[in-house]
Amino acid sequence: MTDPFTFADLPVDPIRPGQTILLSGSGRMASMVARKLCFGGGHDDGVVYVSTNTSGRHLATEVEAEYPDIDLSRLGIIDATGRKDVETETPAWIEAVSNTGDLTGISIKNSILSTHLQKHGIERVRTCLDSLSLLLLYTNFKTVTRFVHTIDGRVAATDGLGVFVLDESMHDPQVRHTLRNLCNCEISLRRGESGPELRLDGIRNQPQGWQPFDLY
């Protein structure tokens, strides 16, 4: 049996392979937690990170600074900002799509990068889409839900991990509810009295209620 995914920097217990997470928060905090889910533990895993708000070049630079122990050759970035800012001297594999609403292009690039990582001996991949909220600004909700369903199926079939970031402040509660039903579980974020907190719902044997954590 494949080992569960672990998260060294968050109060989240190991999660079995093939699961997808809806990460509901707002602003920069959600992106930072998404990176912790992808890079904070499991250094043998590959990562395919779809970025809609940070260019491929800048994301590779930020990940290298934030997680110096990460082997960047295990990182695939899909630049969905529309800026095509991918020229950089980095071991990371960077692809770009024409615009943020190009879900077909994102899906194709995701398949290319995942296959590439697997061909280089990386058995499983953590896939992150940061964020669904920006995709919804460029395309309709039905198309985005089909896209999430496709990625979810690929994650399940390959024993991977999927993370979908949603800025809940930008959407009607029904949007979050529908997307939550497409995922196996949800991590909600908030700023508590003493700092950031998270709560995981949908998987048993996890810490109950709101849990404090260090953002930096």
What is the tens place of the pLDDT at every residue in 60-92? 999 999 999 999 999 999 999 998 776 668 899
Q: Chain-wide mean pLDDT for the chain? A: 94
| Nearest in space to 100 (alpha carbons), one of 65, 146, 55, 166 | 55
0.85 exceeded by pTM = yes
Per the CB < 8 A criterion, the answer to whether 155 and 185 are in contact is no
- Find where tokens 């095509």 sit: 84
Task: Report the distance separating Cα 4 and Cα 17, nearest Å.
Answer: 6
Helix (H) or strand (E) holding 23: strand 19-25
Strand-pair category, 46-51 with 125-130: parallel
Please tell me the number of Cα atoms within 13 Å of 89 on its side-chain side. Answer: 0
Residue 1 has pLDDT above 60, yes or no: no
Name the packing angle between helices 141-157 and 173-182 (round to 10°).
Answer: 20
Report pLDDT for 27: 81
Which domains does the chain possess? 19-188 (3.40.50.300)
Q: How far is CA 210 from the centre of its chain?
A: 21
